Chain A
Amino acid sequence: MDDIISVGRSNGKNGVRMVYLSSKSPSVPNLNEAFYGDFRRRISPERPQSHLSPTPLAEEQTNASLIDLYGDDENGKDENEPDDAEQEDGRNSELPVSPTLSPSVTTPAQGSNEEAPKDFSQYDRYGFKKQNAHITQEQYHEWWDEYSRYCIRRKRKWQDLLAKSGLALSDNDIPDRFPPRSEKLKRYVRKGIPAEWRGQAWWQFARGQEKLNRNKGVYDKLLASLNDRNDKVFSRDLEVIERDLHRTFPENIHFQKQPNDNEEPLMIQSLRRVLLAFSDYNPKIGYCQSMNFLAGLLLLFLDEEKTFWMLVIITSRYLPGVHNINLEGVNIDQGVLMLCVKEYLPDFWQRIVTKEQSRNYEFLYKLPPITLCTASWFMSCFVGIVPIETTLRIWDCLFYEESHVLFKMSLSILKICDQEVAAARRVMRNRVTNKDDSDIEIFQAIQSVPKKLLDPQTIFERVIFKRRLSLNNLNQEEIDRCRRYVSSQRLKLKNYADIMGDKPITKDSTKRDISIGPDFVENALSSEVYGFRRSLTTAHWNNSIKEKVRQIRRK
């Protein structure tokens, strides 16, 4: 129990408890390291002196990991909640409390924490507000009751897996290493990495240490030279970053100014340094809005330097060119996504483009309007698009399986949106007949459906784990090939547009000017129509036959 510090206040039914698990190894990232600030090993010229000498309490907490184990031990809970009982005394063994978690669970919440004037019960284990415009507190708790058990079950499975692989947990309950890549490990990752291991797992799967080893000391040098930079480009980035710092997770407790503290939150300071260092490191990108969310989320799981290198890895390996000043990578990826929608979600595809656009591949150059919504899914890797636990499950897969995950997840969400639209139509019994109404309906679904995906299982159970769905054949090789194709097609179409002017390629334009028309484009590009690799083991290659068979069976 020595290494467990329990901070919180318990006053009867308003009992609130935050549990800090210690993590002694400074190399091991943990959930609140940045919050309580193990910043001493970060050399930063800009760091305010006051943070160098934390209070004795903070001293002890320096290496503490913040986990609100259940996040639901709060006021308003009914007396017959089994979870609460377990947290109070740890006796109720119905729920498989993992051995590493149980000591802290049994720690009685004692003493009052003057530094915690906020009602922590409103925040989840990462410091995000549970409730928002799309999710009520009740919905949250109903789901979390179930999901927290799932997390504990999965953690035990992980522990078994590690034990079998001969890997031990370090003192602080966090593995130093994870087993080598395998189908089994992939399955485990897809079912979710234990929250407190995420930082370490992501770091390993994304091969962060290799990157860092090749660049030892670079981050510190970047920080040290920040003050010397005063050119125009950099000062522009600086200004944009500064404006976004407080607009990054304003609802997250770690990013908020604490009432008793006049200093800027440590998290904001770290975020500033990471983003500034990055804009200096990669001038092709500088700073692009959405990177604040990427870095912000990373900082909740990794230390500053690792966050920096993960940001480098995300923006170069997973999302090449996406954050560049001209955002061409965004356009390419959205073109790829549209090709995938055309291939894997043909019904949905028909709703978002006209036949004409679909036929002549013009959509690769003039992307359908929904892509401005979906572009942000990629730029921020779903941070702020879907609720946090769902985001984290996507990130688990992203770092293990690379960028095709983002396409697969996007397709999954679009599929769910499509189902929701169809269901709503059935309920309303209104047949949307005109394009305008249908557009609005789809935009609305794309905006709101993802925000309600509180339960990560929705995406995974409804789409990702369904092997028979053709979109699950999508792999990294396909996406890489697709990206190359879209990139070259966009260049060609751009050249075409440059020659022909910015006239839309439609039948109307054919009438007006015989020399331009769909045939022209089609002829120019027909030899290079993209073909997806289709696996013969599944029968998706002939959807119409499949559908007919289904109809016969139904009869």
Chain B
Amino acid sequence: MSGSRTGKSLTKYKIVFLGEQGVGKTSLITRFMYDTFDDHYQATIGIDFLSKTMYLDDKTIRLQLWDTAGQERFRSLIPSYIRDSHVAIVVYDVTSKKSFEYIDKWVEDVKAERGEENVVLCIVGNKNDLSDERQVSTEEGERKAQVLNATIFIETSTKAGFNVKNLFRKIAKTLPEFQKSDTVSLDDKASKSKPDVIDITTNNEDQEQSSCQC
């Protein structure tokens, strides 16, 4: 798997967020991009696009994030252009068994387009702060991820800001650029000179929040 590279420009990776309506796809992206959280996001219709430059370990890559609508009928709309992503993040809500069952369908779509080997498949169980309402155990999630041959399984809470950076750190490690490095570390000087890069190595609160101009 490799990103697309042309001439001198940055290597780009497409990341698509899939999953049932209301599981927290938009919220996951917002947490990652701006480190903020809202109780209610507007429902996403069609698709939203965001692009972010990530500077890591002396290398810069550009991520294209595609946020999709969750309702089943929208599945047919998501064109191959987007299904054809390097990374597919399939999200479910740990408080909704149904959303968990639906990840099979989304994974099916991804594999149909991209094949088994060519995609970094991430299964994300979101809303893990709502322990009282949990319907899907971590073990169930792990098991399913194994069955689906997912590269990454992780539980997150976008509300509490739990594990979101971790998710992206794990993803970064799967990209060819960073596979050789033991730790994905961030060059501080470089990050200061580039305000719109994302620091995914530290868990400090003062993450850059500038809007994306890349």
Contacts and interface: CB of A to CB of B under 8 A. Distances in A.
A4 interface: no
B78 A372 contact: yes
Contact of B46 (A325, A375, A440, A444): A375
B43 A247 contact: yes
A293 interface: yes
28 contacts: A239-B98, A240-B21, A247-B42, A248-B43, A289-B69, A290-B45, A292-B43, A293-B43, A293-B45, A366-B80, A369-B81, A369-B82, A372-B77, A372-B78, A372-B82, A375-B46, A375-B77, A376-B69, A379-B46, A384-B45, A436-B9, A436-B12, A440-B62, A443-B64, A444-B51, A447-B48, A447-B49, A447-B50
A373 B47 contact: yes
Interface in A434-493: 434-437, 440, 443-444, 446-447
A74 interface: no
Contact-residue size bin, chain A (C-beta under 8 Å from the other chain): 35 or more
A380 B38 CA distance: 22
A243 B48 contact: no
Contacts of B62: 440
A247 B46 contact: no
Interface string A355-377: 00000000000110101110110
Contact of B45 (A239, A376, A444, A447): A376
B102 to A, nearest CB: 12
A380 B45 CA distance: 8
Contact of B40 (A239, A250, A325, A380): A250
B21 A250 contact: no
B99 to A, nearest CB: 10
A330 to B, nearest CB: 7
A112 B49 CA distance: 44
Contacts of A330: 77
A543 interface: no
Given A289-B70, A326-B73, 19 more contacts: A240-B21, A243-B21, A247-B43, A250-B41, A288-B73, A289-B69, A289-B71, A290-B43, A292-B43, A293-B45, A327-B73, A366-B80, A376-B47, A376-B69, A384-B42, A437-B6, A443-B64, A444-B49, A444-B51
Nearest to A385: B45
A443 B43 contact: no
A182 interface: no
A133 interface: yes
Give the one of A372, A380, A433, A446 with max B CB within 10 A. A372
Interface of A: 133, 239-240, 243-244, 246-251, 288-290, 292-293, 325-327, 330-331, 366-367, 369, 371-373, 375-376, 379-380, 384, 433-437, 440, 443-444, 446-447
Contacts of A246: 40
Contacts of A373: 46-47, 49
Contact of A434 (B7, B39, B43, B50): B7
A354 B205 CA distance: 44
A246 B42 CA distance: 8
B52 to A, nearest CB: 11
Contacts of B4: 436
B79 interface: yes
B202 interface: no
B149 to A, nearest CB: 24
A234 to B, nearest CB: 15
A187 to B, nearest CB: 32
B168 interface: no
A376 B73 contact: no
Contacts, number: 99
Nearest to A367: B79
B211 interface: yes
A327 B39 CA distance: 30
A437 B40 contact: no
Contacts of A331: 77
Contacts of A243: 21-22
Given A244-B21, A325-B73, A440-B51, A289 B45 contact: yes
Contact of A327 (B7, B9, B77, B81): B77
A461 to B, nearest CB: 27
Contacts of B7: 433-434
A436 B12 CA distance: 9
Contact of B79 (A251, A372, A434): A372
B21 A133 contact: no
B47 A372 contact: yes
Interface in B10-39: 12, 21-22, 38-39
A379 B73 CA distance: 13
Contact of A440 (B12, B41, B78): B12
B6 A436 contact: yes
Interface in B64-102: 64, 69-71, 73-74, 76-82, 98
A247 B22 contact: yes
Which of B47, B49, B78 has the most CB atoms of chain A within a 10 A radius of its CB?
B49
Contacts of B42: 247-251, 384
Contacts of A444: 49, 51
A343 B4 CA distance: 31
A433 B69 CA distance: 31
A244 B44 CA distance: 10
Contacts of B51: 440, 443-444
A286 to B, nearest CB: 9
B2 to A, nearest CB: 13
A263 B42 CA distance: 21
A148 B75 CA distance: 42
Contacts of B81: 369
Contacts of B47: 372-373, 376
A109 to B, nearest CB: 30
A244 B79 contact: no
B77 A240 contact: no
A372 B16 CA distance: 13
B67 to A, nearest CB: 10
A293 B80 CA distance: 27
A443 B69 CA distance: 17
A191 B133 CA distance: 51
A247 B73 CA distance: 18
Contacts of A325: 73
A327 B69 CA distance: 13
Contacts of B69: 289, 376
B159 to A, nearest CB: 15
A380 B79 CA distance: 20
B212 to A, nearest CB: 8
Q: Which 3 A-B pairs have the closest CB atoms?
A: A376-B46, A250-B40, A369-B81
Contacts of B21: 240, 243-244, 289
